Amino acid sequence: MVKHPKPLVEIVGTGRYVPDRVLTNADLEKMVETNDEWIVERTGIRERRIARDDEGAAQMGAEAARKAMEEAGVEPGEVDILIVSTATPDRWLPSTACDLQALLGAGNAMAFDICAACSGWLYGLTMAEGYLAAGRGEIALVVAAEKMSSITDWEDRATCVLFGDAAGAAVLKKATGDRGILSAHHKSDGNLADLLYRPGGGAAIPMSEEVLVDKGHLVKMSGREVFKNAVRSMADASGTALEKAGLTGDDIDLLIPHQANIRIIKATAKYAGIPMEKVYINVDRFGNTSSAAIPVALDEAKEAGIVGPGTVILTAAFGAGFTWSGMTIRL
C-alpha cells in the first residue's frame, strides 16, 4: 500500500456540457487551406463542438454545474465558493462567475473568475481546497467554461483547427476519509506569455478599429514553440504530482491529460510511465477546450465506468501564461 498525504478535500460530484453543433475536419477544409489528414496526424483532432452565437460561458458552465450539484446532492444555495476558470469571459465586468451564480441561484457563494488558461480548472481546485481546509466554508463549486470559438481567428489555419467549446464542473467538500486530492503541483512562467496570447482588446491596447482590423483580439500562437514547452511542462506537472503523492505511474488507474494534441498526450504518458490503455483521450471528438478539457474528460470517464470511487487519477495541464499543473486524486 502506497503512503500518501491525507487528502483535505474530495470531489463529490462532476458534470459536463458540450454544445450540439459539430464542426468536422471536412467542414474546416471548406473554410481554410487544410485537410483532414494533416489535422489528424499533427493533432489527433477529428471534430470539435461550437457553441451557439447566443450561448455564453456562464450558460455552458451552468449546465455542467447543475449536473455536478445533482450528483453531489447539493442545492445551489449551499455553495460557499464558486470559482470559474475561463479564457473567454462573457464580458469584462462583472466576472462570469457572478453571471453563473445568478443563473444557478447560488446566492450564498462568493463568486469570482480565475484566468490561468488551460490549467485554470486545476488551479481552481487548489484554491477551493485551501478555502475549505481553512474552514471558511463547506461546499465549493469549481467550473471551467470556455467558448474558444469566440476568440478564434477562423481564417488562421494554424489555430482554427485546434479549439472547441465546452464546460465542466466539480463540487468539492472536506474529505472524510482517504478519498480526495492527494497532491498538486502548479507553476507559471510569464516570460513566455507572447507565444500564446491575445495582443489587443484589453487595458494595455484597448479595443479599437485598428485592433479589430488586425484581429488583435483573437488568439495568436507560435505552435512549434508552445508544443516544445507543453511537452516539457506536462512532464514536470505529472512527474512532480506523482512524486509529491509518493506514487508512481503503476499506482495510477487513469491519466487524464489536458487535451490539446495527441502527440503531447503520448509524450506525457510515456514520461509518467503510464501505458496508453490507461490514458483518457477525447481530443479527437472535442479538440482543445482549454480548461474545460480535464473536467469534461473526468466526467465522461466516470460515466463510462472507467473510474469510480477509490480509483486514483493523475491529471496534468499546460496553457497560456505559461501555466502548468499536475494533480493526483483518489476519486
**Binding to ligand UT7 in span 20-49, by CB under 6 A:** 34, 38-39, 42-43
**Angle, vertex CA 172, rays to CA 314 and CA 170, nearest 5:** 70
Out of 160, 185, 258, 261, the active site residue is: 258
46, 100 contact by CB (below 8 A): no
Our CB check for ligand UT7 shows the closer of 137 and 164 to be 164
Question: What are 290's strand-pairing partners?
Answer: none
Quick check: 224 binds ligand UT7 (CB under 6 A)? yes
Write out the three cell numbers for 151.
476568440
According to the binding rule CB under 6 A, does residue 223 interact with ligand UT7? yes
Task: Confirm if 60 and 167 have CB atoms less than 8 A apart.
Answer: yes
Whether 186 is catalytic is no
- Residue 129, C-beta contacts closer than 8 angstroms, at least 6 positions apart: 8, 9, 172, 181, 184
For ligand UT7 (CB under 6 A), the number of binding residues is 21
Our answer to whether residue 115 is catalytic in this structure is no
191 is an active site residue: no
Instruction: Check 25, 229, 261, 288 and give the catalytic one.
Output: 288
Tell me the Cα Rg of the chain: 19
Q: Which is nearer to ligand UT7, 86 or 261 (CB)?
A: 261
171, 64 contact by CB (below 8 A)? no
Question: Which residue, 131 or 318, is less far from ligand UT7 as judged by CB?
Answer: 318
Q: Does 260 bind ligand UT7 (CB under 6 A)?
A: yes
Task: Pick the closer one to ligand UT7 by CB: 8 or 32.
Answer: 32
Site map 102..121 versus ligand UT7, x via CB under 6 A: ----------------x---
Cα angle for residues 184, 11, 96 (degrees, 5° grid): 85
Instruction: Give the nearest distance from C-beta 193 to ligand UT7 in angstroms.
Output: 13
Q: Which helix (H) or strand (E) holds 17?
A: strand 9-17
Measured distance CA(87)–CA(85) in Å, rounded: 7
- Residues within the interface to ligand UT7 (CB under 6 A): 34, 38-39, 42-43, 118, 157-158, 161, 196, 223-224, 226-227, 230, 260-261, 264, 288, 318-319
List the catalytic residues. 118, 258, 288
